[in-house]
Chain A
Amino acid sequence: MSTQTLSDGVGTVPAMTYAVEAENLVKHFSKGKDAIEAVRGVDLHVAQGEVFGFLGPNGAGKSTTVKMLTTLMSITSGTARVAGVDVAAHPDQARRKIGVALQEAGLDGRQTGRELLVLQARLFDMSPATAADRAKELLELVDLVESADRRIKSYSGGMKRRLDLASALVHQPEVLFLDEPTTGLDPASRLTVWEEVRRINEQGTTVFLTTQYLEEADALCNRLAIIDGGRIVLEGTPQQLKADLRERKGLPDDPTLDEVFLDATGRTRERIAGEVQEVMA
């Protein structure tokens, strides 16, 4: 883990241990003669053991940021460290410390659930026997034992998502990145994923969660940041952010997180329709 130090006049003392640190992270895509600025200088500091929510409307730069942090995309400028490792300088080292479940459950439908987990474990240097044991353990954990030897293409959306989560946990990562893990799931499956996220976090794994569901962020996250137009526009605990808005607007009660979101992104409910949804799980 990366530790930021502060001078106390005599020496340096550890101030905060960060699981994810990004400084002025920028990503440009070139399209013909034009450059698209997807991420425009993002700073992030996620403490070890946190569930950190990363919110934003479609196209705000959430997934691009996650892909840069997880070594899946090059960084145009700026630096990113995950579990203390510079992801651009030492991508392989970083990959050993992070688990990734991206927006679409990235699975191979022709394999069985067990085969997929064993393969994943083997690629993280486990022996065949250890990989088989780890796969069994994870299948039990995500309640897929009965379907373990069925081809993944026959799984439901919720089962695929749980398997994807299990495959991200194969090597017991220090930081788990979940990119919209509940998008498209029914309420029951969504609750199951929430329980899993809580349980994983209780075991000490830092969770970096992107979501469009504000209720999800409210329920799961210790702290969150809102990104819009490639920039972080608001950061804090859900309670802090609500209290700040109540104070600033002189509201009688705490606003909801979606009101905080709308205020931060300058959007109206009409404009936001279809971009961010509130769900009642």
Chain B
Amino acid sequence: MSTASQSWVLTRRAVREALRTPEALLPTLFIPLFFLIVNTGQAAKIFPTGNTPFLRGQGYAAFQLPSSLLLAASFGSAALFLVEDIEGGYFDKLRATPASRTALVLGRLGAEAMKCAAITLCLILVALPLGIHIASGPIGLLLLVLMTAGWAVVYVGFMQCIALKTRSAAATNSGGLVFFPLLFLTPSFVPRNLLAPAMEKAATVNPVTYIMEALRSLILHDLQTAPILRGFAVIAVSAVLMIALNVRLIRSYD
């Protein structure tokens, strides 16, 4: 069986696992939605649609949506399921099969991408009544979903590295704190050129900024090649790095 088929078999198992654990799934939907509503409620009057050029005629919720999507993609619950597999011995059972080590990694990451794609669609649907529309059209919507799912793969890949290295749920959870600088040292509330100089520098070196700007361009603009390519490039490079690190950690796992 090819690595792709093995990955698919393992992806299906991880999807079942996620569906059978709704208690882990629901916060992924509700917490980003909560932040979207609260942040929009707090700042919408500061940035009225008519007088705020960077909103391009939409409400502030449209500007905030990428932050919520990235938050939804940054829960990394799949890494905690991996720790459970490790602690319960099932990970050893999988390692004892001739399945490719890459498939062992891609199985979970594939499920995370699917799960995040579904959550992204749900969030967008729920956000529509807040006056959001995807200016780049159906293709833009597809790219929006793919990009958010791509970030979920990168982030869970990172969390899985911690899980494989430490084999501890507590350490894996703590590793997730890296999410705060990654998500908040970005132009999450205003465009980059309106940030204070130090913050602007931090946002410029933060790769998540380019994903956020790409998502935002898909919501607020027609299809714009440059930011979209930058966003996908960041995801592609980070995903390759994370997958390679995961595979290496599994191969040297003792």
Question: Chain A residues in contact with chain B, CB under 8 A?
Answer: 29, 70-74, 92-93, 95-96, 98, 100, 102-111, 115, 119-120, 122-125, 151, 167
Contacts and interface: CB of A to CB of B under 8 A. Distances in A.
Interface string B130-173: 00000000000000000000000000000000000000000000
6 contacts: A70-B96, A100-B93, A100-B96, A104-B89, A108-B90, A124-B97
Q: Could you say which of B1, B10, B90, B94 has the most chain A C-beta atoms within 10 Å of its C-beta?
A: B90
B92 interface: yes
Nearest to A92: B98
Given A115-B13, A125-B1, A108 B96 contact: no
Given A102-B92, A115-B16, A108 B99 contact: no
Contacts of A122: 1, 6, 9
Question: Which one of B16, B21, B89, B96 has the highest number of Cβ atoms from chain A below 10 Å of its Cβ?
Answer: B96
Q: Which label, helix, strand, loop or mixed, suits the secondary structure of the A interface?
A: loop
A120 B13 contact: no
- Give the size category of B's interface with A: 20 to 34
B51 interface: no
B17 A110 contact: yes
B95 interface: yes
Given A95-B97, A108-B17, 16 more contacts: A29-B254, A71-B96, A72-B92, A74-B252, A95-B98, A106-B90, A106-B92, A109-B88, A110-B21, A111-B17, A119-B10, A122-B6, A123-B6, A123-B9, A124-B98, A125-B1
A119 B13 contact: yes
B17 A72 contact: no
Contacts of A98: 96
Interface in B65-106: 85, 88-99
Interface string B104-144: 00000000000000000000000000000000000000000
Contacts of B96: 70-72, 95, 98, 100
Contacts of B45: none
Contacts of B91: 106
B99 to A, nearest CB: 4
The 7 closest A-B pairs by CB, nearest first: A106-B89, A106-B93, A123-B97, A95-B98, A104-B89, A123-B99, A100-B96
Contact of B9 (A104, A119, A151): A119
Contacts of B13: 108, 111, 115, 119
Given A107-B88, A109-B88, A120 B16 contact: no
A74 B1 CA distance: 25
A70 B95 CA distance: 10
A120 B99 CA distance: 10
Contact of B88 (A93, A106, A120, A123): A106
